[in-house]
Each structure stands twice: as C-alpha cells, then as structure tokens.
Structure 1
Amino acid sequence: MMMQLLLSSENDGFLCPIPQYPLYSASITLHGGTLVPYFDEATGWGLEMSELKKQLEDAKSKGITVKALIVINPSNPTGQVLSEDNQRDIVKFCKNEGLVLLAYEVYQGNVYVPEKEIHSFNFQESCQVDGLRRD
C-alpha cells in the first residue's frame, strides 16, 4: 500500500537493495515506478552511505524522483545484519534527503547474538497466558 501511495508515475523511484526478495522489484514495476538499486558486495553486503548517495544522485540525473528507501534487515537473501550505527546513519540520510524509510525487519527474531537475549513472539506461550488452546 505504501508503494501505491508513493508512486504516481514512472519517474518516481525507490532505492532498493540488490540482491533482494523479488517482491520489492516486482511491486515497484507493478505500480509503475522505477527501481533504483543499491548494493555493495565489497563490504560484505553492508549498506554504505556513499553508495546510497551515489545511486540517489544518479537517479536524479536521469529525472527520477526517489520517494523512499527500502531497507531489509537482516537482509534476505544475504543474511547481512546492519550495525546500530549504520541504522542511525540510514535514518539521518532519509531525513536529510526527504525520503520515506520502509524498513522490512521480519527476520529480526532469527538473528543469533550470543551475548544478547532476543525476544520473539511465542504463539504457544501467548495462548497459555490468554487461556486459549492451540488446537
């Protein structure tokens, strides 16, 4: 729905990671927008701010109005997890450039960090607390 809301012509674009789950590139195309890819395999698929800026400027030079930045964290399919500092830089970048930040973080509960406890939703425990039965 956000893509439909933000894309009004083929000259509207979204910065999108490459590689990515094909839903994003297909949805951008379906709704008549332009994919503006960003990637940097050289840094282990991390998100380099210089790469974002380069791709944004390149899109502008082609007459594309970039409306949003898509971030997938952890990345699907690379598994790359963005550092907290990198995430802050991304938010600042979007603020400075007037971009909507679309953060896809559905796999966040799957990240293994031995020194931290990560909480995720547990259906069975939730049902027991609410007095519901799973079956």
Structure 2
Amino acid sequence: MMQLLISSEKDGILCPIPQHPLYSASIALHGGTLVPYFLDEASGWGLETSELKKQLEDAKSKGINVRALVVINPGNPTAQVLAEDNQWQIVDFCKQEGLVLLADEVYQENVYIPDKEFHSFKKVSRSMGYGEQDIALIPC
C-alpha cells in the first residue's frame, strides 16, 4: 500500500507517535515523508482530531501532499483502545480530507482494560453509511 501511495518525498503519511517503527521505516523505504501526529498520554493515549488537523496543515504548509492516515487500534506500544465515537470522528476526518485510512487492527484481541471494547474501522465506517465507493479503508 505504501508503494501505491508514495511516489516522491512530497507524499506524506500521517502516522502516530509513539508507534512501532514498521510504518516510519516503510514510509522512509518508499521515499515518502513521515507526518507525525502525537497521541495524548494524559487521555490514555487518545487520538485527537484537532492534532490530526494541526499536523495536516503543517505538512501542507511545507508542500507535503498527505495521502493517508495510519491508525493502530488497539495501539502498539500504548495498548490504548479507541472509543467508537472517536473512530467516527477519525473516519469523518479522512472523508473530509480525502485521505486513505490505513487501519492497523491486528491487535484486536489484545484489549486489557475491562471497560474498553474493540470496534473495527470497517464496522464504524459502514455504520456511518459509507460504502467502498465513499471511503478508502485499508485494513492492515
């Protein structure tokens, strides 16, 4: 997928920090630009769409064409689990900004917080009424 999304150093991918280095290394390998967004430790490593917007605008101001957003849920190494309403915000953000959503959900069985529940981005986007023609959702 990175090979399809990245054609030059001017192509960027929004990627969480902290993260397992698979994504930053893959972006570098394909000659793209890592556009980091920072998870909020104080809120249980939550993902704020305001942070995504800030990093997206900063990248655009530097001439970077942001092509996709990587979301790791549950997180590695943080083990956070995104709330369903937060996922709705993320899907809506990707739709509005024309970004491919790369949803890394391979750790879905690793939910260790009793009051947290895993919801797939595919399920969330479908519940929002989006089909394959509406949003590019790539499960990793």
Query: What is the TM-score of this pair, normalised by structure 2?
Result: 0.79
- Measured in 2, the distance between the counterparts of 1:75 and 1:115 equals 16
- Measured in 2, the distance between the counterparts of 1:116 and 1:72 equals 15
- Measured in 2, the distance between the counterparts of 1:117 and 1:19 equals 21
In structure 2, the CA distance between the partners of 1:32 and 1:116, relative to structure 1 (3 Å rule), is closer
The structure having more radius of gyration, on CA atoms, is: 1
Q: CA RMSD in A?
A: 1.8
In structure 2, the CA distance between the partners of 1:47 and 1:117, relative to structure 1 (3 Å rule), is closer
| Identity fraction in percent | 81
Which 4+ runs in 1 deviate beyond 2 A?
Answer: 40-44, 112-118
Equivalent AA in structure 1 for residue 49 of structure 2: M
In structure 2, the CA distance between the partners of 1:68 and 1:116, relative to structure 1 (3 Å rule), is closer
Matched ranges for 1:91-130 at <5 A: 91-112=91-112, 114=114
Greater share of residues in helix: 1
Deviation at 1:113, TM superposition (A): 5.9
Deviation at 1:109, TM superposition (A): 1.2
In structure 2, the CA distance between the partners of 1:86 and 1:20, relative to structure 1 (3 Å rule), is same
Deviation at 1:93, TM superposition (A): 0.2
In structure 2, the CA distance between the partners of 1:56 and 1:110, relative to structure 1 (3 Å rule), is same
Q: In the alignment, what sits opposite 2:133?
A: none
SS at match of 1:108: coil
In structure 2, the CA distance between the partners of 1:112 and 1:57, relative to structure 1 (3 Å rule), is same
Matched ranges for 1:15-30 at <5 A: 15-30=14-29
Equivalent AA in structure 2 for residue 13 of structure 1: G
- Measured in 2, the distance between the counterparts of 1:42 and 1:112 equals 18
- Measured in 1, the distance between the counterparts of 2:46 and 2:73 equals 10
SS at match of 1:4: helix
In structure 2, the CA distance between the partners of 1:83 and 1:31, relative to structure 1 (3 Å rule), is same
Matched ranges for 1:31-110 at <5 A: 31-39=30-38, 40-110=40-110
In structure 2, the CA distance between the partners of 1:75 and 1:114, relative to structure 1 (3 Å rule), is closer
Deviation at 1:112, TM superposition (A): 3.9
Q: In the alignment, what sits opposite 1:11?
A: 10
Equivalent AA in structure 2 for residue 72 of structure 1: I
Deviations 1:98-128 (A, max 9, x none): 000000000111214657998xxxxxxxxxx
- How many residues are aligned here? 117
- Measured in 1, the distance between the counterparts of 2:81 and 2:12 equals 25
